[in-house]
Amino acid sequence: MTHYNQLLQQEIRKYREKTRKSRNLNNLARSLLPGGDTRTVTYFKPYPLYVREGSGYLVCDVDGNKYIDFLNNYTSLVHGHRHPKIVEAINNQLTHLQAVHAPTEKQIELAKLICERFPSVEMVRFMNSGTEATMNAIRLARAYTGKKKIMKAEGGYHGTHDFAMISVHPPSEKYGSLNNPESVPEDKGIPKAVLKNVIVFPFNNFEVTEKLIKRNKEELAALIVEPIMGTAGIIPPVKDYLKFLREITIDNDVLLVFDEVITARLSKGGAQEYFKVEPDLTASGKMFGGGTPIGLVGGKEEIMQLYSPERKEFLSQSGTFNANPVTMAAGVATLKLLTTQAIKKINSLGGFLKKRISNLFSEFSVQIKVTGVGSLLNIHFTNKEVLDYRSSLTADKDLHFLLYLSLLNRGIWIAPRLMANISTPMSNRETEKFLKTLGEVLVSIKPAIEEKAPHLINKEM
């Protein structure tokens, strides 16, 4: 048996021994849910961890094991679990009203806070997920421009509606040339007709992006992009790339849509304030719900007014729980807590952790890349620069999973793709614990790295 397989089986055995109740619950779930799963991103083999409770930066599974949560429900819990002020706001709201078939004052309060914080958002519309947000932003762009096609980055994730599920994880044998990427459906459920209306561009590539926009401008309603690519590996834009996107879309009469579902935490005004680039529309969600479901679309008043039912012809967009008062109350509490000082703290901790992780791997003579901005980061087992989806594929995904499971077994929870983020309850104590644990894991798994990816070993050190 190879070092890698031996170590992996060892960590799997350890995981099974520690999480017997999770295994039993998963066996029960498999009889009621397909594969025991109802959220693809939380599934991993041999079975996912079942969690009982969380508080601050800690979560506890059903077997009583505790973990420092560096995943935070994939960035949505910017204040960690059960922040007292957010819990208080939810409880206060529940004593008055849970859900209702009418608007409430709370939706005005949250809308006002968002419009004050985001430089490009003059009006906002609420929904219940990031998927709904990007779906409605695309539909709104089509209605406003009268054009059908959209552009999205290869490897960009914008939720699970048809027009978003194109070239999210395209295999190399299907994604075509870099100069003309193919539009690849994520699964068999995507109609072929959708592919004709989704143009794929390589992130951080000025020349190809410009060529594709100019070629399709007469039919192109919008370009939607994550200011920092999330699922592909927390990949930041190269210098001036977002400014370039803003300029080229204006020049070609194409709307620019920022998907800020993950990046809204980077500053009070999100990535658009951080990078000083204003889109026409912003789609977001996650942290704005304070741990409850939310999605939102915001942008220029001229575009957003297409939703107004006071117009003779308007876009209908409804949902039973749109702007429900519990979510609105949690969102207001969240944004009031997310001050400039709080953001500075988590961004500083994230930058510190990113640098120290790189240094730690270097001490073990292992070449890796750590991408990220502010409180967001991602480890990649590659010695190549990670600038787009294709370069992210140079990383060894088997080593990703081995590191993930090894950390999880020792009480550090990140994403299987090795993404991590910081929440406001954290301090240097938690980041030092991460680094100490990572060092212990590297002692254990270095033989597997040497065997499976010898090109990552720096023999000169």
Pair 413, 321 in one domain: no
Residues 291 and 188 in one domain: yes
User: Does any domain span residue 103?
Assistant: yes
Question: Residue 316 in contact with residue 58, Cβ under 8 Å?
Answer: no
**Domain, as residue range, for 438:** 3-78+340-456
Residue 389 lies in a domain: yes
CATH number of 13's domain: 3.90.1150.10
Q: Torsion-angle region of residue 276: left (phi > 0), alpha (psi -120 to 50) or beta? A: left
Nearest residue to 205 (alpha-carbon basis) of 168, 248, 167, 257: 248
435: in domain: yes
Q: CA-CA distance, 410 to 438, in Å (whole number)?
A: 9
Domain match, 372 and 271 both: no
What gap in Å lies between CA 343 and CA 130, rounded to an integer? 22
The residues assigned a catalytic role are: 157, 259, 286
The answer on 303 and 262 residing in a single domain is: yes
- Residue 46 in any domain: the answer is yes
Rounded to whole angstroms, how far apart are CA atoms 317 and 443?
A: 54
Same domain, 320 and 222: yes
| Same domain (yes/no): 65, 140 | no
Of 275, 304, 337, the domain-final residue: 337
SS3 222: strand
3-state secondary structure of 123: strand
Angle subtended at Cα 266 by Cα 265 and Cα 269, rounded to the nearest 5 degrees: 80
Residue type, 97: L
pLDDT tens digits, one per residue of 266-320:
999 999 999 999 999 999 999 999 999 999 999 999 999 999 999 999 999 999 9
Total of domains in the chain:
2
**pLDDT at residue 461, as a whole number:** 55
Q: Within a domain: residue 345? A: yes
CA distance 190 to 169: 14
Taking 3-state DSSP, the helix, strand and coil percentages for the chain, each rounded to the nearest 5, stand at 45, 15, 40
- Provide the pairing of β-strand 149-153 with 198-201: parallel
**Is residue 56 a contact partner of residue 81, using CB atoms and an 8 Å limit?**
yes
Q: What does the pLDDT read at residue 459?
A: 78
Same domain membership, residue 414 and residue 300: no
Element (H, E) at 126: strand 123-127
Domain termination site, one of 308, 337, 366: 337
Looking at the fold, whether 283 and 344 belong to one and the same domain comes out as no
Look at residue 357 and tell me if it is in a domain: yes
Domain presence at residue 404: yes
The verdict on 296 and 421 lying in the same domain is no
Domain match, 112 and 251 both: yes
Which residue from 101, 136, 74, 179 is spatially nearest to 419, judged by alpha carbons? 74
In contact, 144 and 306? CB cutoff 8 Å: yes
Q: What Cα–Cα distance (Å) separates residue 239 from each residue in 184, 202, 282, 301, 387? A: 28, 15, 21, 30, 12
Q: Which of 282, 308, 337 is the last residue of a domain?
A: 337
DSSP readout, 24-49?
HHHHHHTTTSGGG-S-GGG--SS-PP
With a cut of 70, which residues of the chain have pLDDT below it?
Answer: 461
Spatial separation of the C-alpha atoms in residues 158 and 232, rounded to whole Å? 11
What distance in Å separates the CA atoms of residue 315 and residue 211, rounded to the nearest whole number?
32
430 and 287: one domain?
no
Q: In this structure, are strands 376-380 and 419-421 parallel, antiparallel, or unpaired? A: antiparallel
232 and 131, same domain (yes or no): yes
Residue 461 lies in a domain: no
Scan for tokens 């406001």, then name that residue.
Answer: 424
Going from the C-alpha of 351 to that of each of 53, 262, 340, 375, the distances in angstroms are 28, 17, 16, 7
Distance, CA of 155 to CA of 86 (rounded, Å): 34
In whole angstroms, what is the distance from residue 420 CA to residue 413 CA? 8
Pairing type for strands 255-259 and 281-285 reads: parallel
Residue 376: strand pairing partners: 373, 421
Q: What is the CATH number for 148?
A: 3.40.640.10
